[in-house]
Structures are given as C-alpha cells and as structure tokens.
Structure 1
Amino acid sequence: MLSDRQITSRRLLLVAAGMSLLGVAGCRGSQGVNGGVAAPGAGAEGVPTDGHAAEPASAPAAPAIPSASPSAAPSGPPSPSAAASAPPAPVASGTPVAAPRKLTAAESKPVYELDAERKVVALTIDDGPDPRHTPTVLALLEQHGIRATFFLIGENAVEHPDLVREIAARGHHIANHTWTHPDLRSLSDAKVRDELERTSELLNKLTGKPPTWFRAPGGDWSNASLKVIADLGMRNMAWSVDPRDWARPGTSVITDRILKDVRPGSIVLNHDGGGDRSQTVAALKAYLPVLVDSGYKFTAPPG
C-alpha cells in the first residue's frame, strides 16, 4: 500500500504534466493558418498594417506610434482588417461631399437680370471682404432686412476669414470673384482654373458650402473661364445696373444712376472692396430706403 507521502507526490506529478500539456495547446492555438505567430499590429494575413516587414517574433514588438507630422504620408495601403477596425476619417470642414452638378447650356450663360414680372432686385457687392467697409454694408443690409450676394476675391477672403464667416452667418449669398481679380481674357487656361478653383476651395472651407455663382472681373468672361466655371458647377452672374461706383463719381451720382436705371428684375452692381468705398456706403444709405418704400423686394439668386 502506498503511503500518504507517495500519493501526494504522484498527484503533484500529474498536475505538472497537465499544465505542460495546456501550455503546448495554448501555443498552437495562437499560431496563424501558416503556422507563424502573428506579430502585434499585423493584419489578417500576418502583414503589419504600416506596410513594413515584420520584426522577428522572438520578442514582442512595441506598438507603432504614428508620426505627428502633417506631411508624413502613409507608406502603403492598410490591410482589410485595419481598414475595417479603424474609425472613418473626419471630413474636413467645407469639403464638398458631392461632385459639382452638371449645368445645361442655358445655365452656363451669364445672367443679366431676373424675372421682370416681379418687383424684385438683386443687390450684388463686389471685391470684398474689406475690414473698413464690409461691416458697415452688413449693418445697413440688416437694418433694412435685405439679403445680398457678395462676390468675394480670394486674396481678400484669406486675409479676413472672420468677415467671410460673418457674411455667411447673416444669411447672404457668397460667390466667387477669382483669386486676384485679373482680366481672365489674358490668362492661360491653367491660370484661369487656378484663379477659380483656389477661391472656391477657400470659400467652401470657410463657410462649409461651395459657391454656386461666379462673376468675371469687369464682366470679361473668356471661353476658358466659361468651361472651368461649368466644371466647378457654378453659374455666371452679370448685372443690368452699373453706377460705376468703383470710379468714385460722388455719392449723389451713384444714387441717381441706380434710382434712374433700376426696374423689376434688375441686378445692381456695387463694391465694398478694392479701394475707398465710402461713397458707395453713403449711396446705399440713400437709395436703399427709397427702393424699399417703392415696394421693391431684394433677393439673392438661388443656387
């Protein structure tokens, strides 16, 4: 008969053997389909998600830390398992989520006036934003409950982004007026595209909406610009009432020209940037109440 000490020793040997078998089974369970142990951070096929060769499996690899440099580019596409587990990348503010809509031939032509059957006026403000005059113009428009269209120059918008956001926040329509206000007829096709695309991208980034209207500086469209404008899904707006306020002929002259020429469906051209626009601001104070009292409604053409 075995003694108590012999029984205890035999039980200990059995327990030790069982633990050894469990350890072997656990190692086999952790191996991949090819028999190799997957390295930390590897994809479904045992390939590291950063696109580099796997380190030897003799020691656990430290998890890779992504570079904080914004210029660092990924070295390769992520594995399917990494793409499925990673959260979706946030969409940058102002980035369009849909391709520009296709315009018909009729929609691509410049619009010179609105519906003449309705007593409406489209007030358009060019060449801003300008920190001296745009805030005053915004206050005047708010005072009379008027919604206008601001054709902004890209190099001004990038200098005064808060003004761009304020124009949009007050419910006005923001439109593209090129980046540097050049004569489009003198530019190459590539330069025309750069002028328009840079401006649309900036305005989209600042407001969250891509501009849907464009105005050529001086009203001088070119065949190249008409094609790019159509590619970007924008329509072209000209004008029917031009008081030539940019030449600073005097407040009374600007006011008289507008009141003389305005009619139902008019698109009125004014400027809040590009120089001293104090005469334009004074003229707005004079003629806006007259038009309102005459029964005119103000509109920003729809996109």
Structure 2
Amino acid sequence: MSKTKAKYRALKMPVRYLINTVLVALLFIGLQLLSANMLSTYQNKVLLLVGINVILAVSLNVATGYLGQLPLGHAGFMAVGAYTSALFTKYCTWPEPVAFAAGLALGAAMACLFGVLIGIPALRLSGDYLAILTLGFGEIIRITLNNIDNVLGFSLFYGAKGLKNIPKYSDLLSVFLCVVLTCFFIHTMLKSRHGRAVLAIRDNEIAAESCGIQTTYYKVMAFSFSAAFAGLAGGLYAGYLGVLDPASFDFMKSIEILVMVVLGGMGSMLGSILSATVLTILP
C-alpha cells in the first residue's frame, strides 16, 4: 500500500489530476447505472444517507481532527442549512436543478455565517468549555425551530409540527457530487498555507502565534468552513426526506457525528469516510 502511494505521489501533478478526474468520472457513471433500476428503494435511501453522513463526518473532522477543538453543535449548523435550503426550494419558482443548487449554496452560506458568529466568541475557549458552549448553540437552534410557528404573520417553520412538502431533489448523483466536492475542497484547503496554519495551531497554538500566525483568524476560518459543509449536508438531508422535524437535530445527532469522526480517527479524512459508511449501513 505504501509503495503504491509513493508511486502515485511521484507522478507529475497533471497526471495525478487526470487520474483523479477519470476515477471521479467512473464513480458518476457507476452511480448513474446503479440508480437506473439496479437498486431497491431501500438501498437507494441507505446510499443517500451514507453520502450525507460522510459530508457531516468529514466536515466535523476539520474542527476536531485538524483544528484540535471539540465542538458539539454540528447538528445545529446542519439544521440551519436544512431549513434555509428547504424554505428556498419550497417557495422558489426557478427550474429544479437551479433552485436545488441555489438552495444548497444558500444553506451552506447561512451555516457558514452562523459558524463565524459563534466561532468568534466560542474559540476563545477550549476543551470542555468550548464543548458546552457549542452544545448550547445547537440546543438553542433546535428549541427555536421547535417553538417558532410563523414570522411576521407568515407560516414558515411550522414549529413542532415540522416543515412539510419540501421538494425531494436529492438523488445519488447530486449527493455524491457534493461528497466529492466536499472532500476536494477540504483536502485542497488542508494542503494550502491556510491548512498548514490550522495544523500548526493544533500542534502548538502558542508556538504558532509566536511565528506570526493569526490564530484567531485561522480558528474561526476552519470552524466556519466546517459549519458550511454541515449546512450543505443539511440541505441534502432536507431534499432527501421532504419533511423536517426540529427533533432530528438534537444533541444526540451531534454526538452521532462525533462518534463517526472518533471511530475513523481524528485527522483522517479516509477514516471519517469509512466510519460514516459503516455506521450508516450497519444499523
């Protein structure tokens, strides 16, 4: 395995990009063939959940494994993305692919914004204190969604009754395209100078700051980056179920995602992918 990896790394960059492009193309062709009529409805739904959970696990790994923090509010960011995307696609009159793509982007952007707003005060803390604060954020989001029925006289969230009649736009191709994009963007970020700064902060924050790294900026950046992809997963989840219930985004959902990251290995993208797949399929 190590020899194969060494040979792959020895290839020139254009050749490596070509190999990756061919592999991704083969993946999408395989997904199209599988989704044609070869999978049962149950198998199709399980694969959709696998893709969504992979995005959640890989994105949380940015904040836990690579940044070295312990946030417990990932389900809150997922809820923000899910409700934002669901409301947009439900009331948007654009063509289906455009509305779905725009809804996912809007959900990710809104979750990213919440990540910045929560990250600025939260990341001044660490360890148990950060975990408690982010846990509180996740519960505030859930309770707020559970109690808000209408906004300015317009029925939007429907409170505990849940948001219904959401267009079911999520399919295997769109979900796994988002999985590939998530892994690509996170891998690219980690290999950049921003990623090296994040890893330096994880290893020794004081030493990183003494070297001129703006620790607060990079911690908030990584935290909001993680939140954005949780929002993306939430948008896909809304398009998969067609119904949203605030109870789906409780504290145990955040713990479930954290277990996937820990089981796969903190700081291992491949481990997060494998553990999310196994823990989704086994139950």
Q: With the length of structure 2 as denominator, give the TM-score of the two structures.
A: 0.24
Q: With the length of structure 1 as denominator, give the TM-score of the two structures.
A: 0.23
Would you tell me which structure has more helix in proportion to its own residues? 2
| Higher radius of gyration, 1 or 2 | 1
Would you tell me which structure has more strand in proportion to its own residues? 1
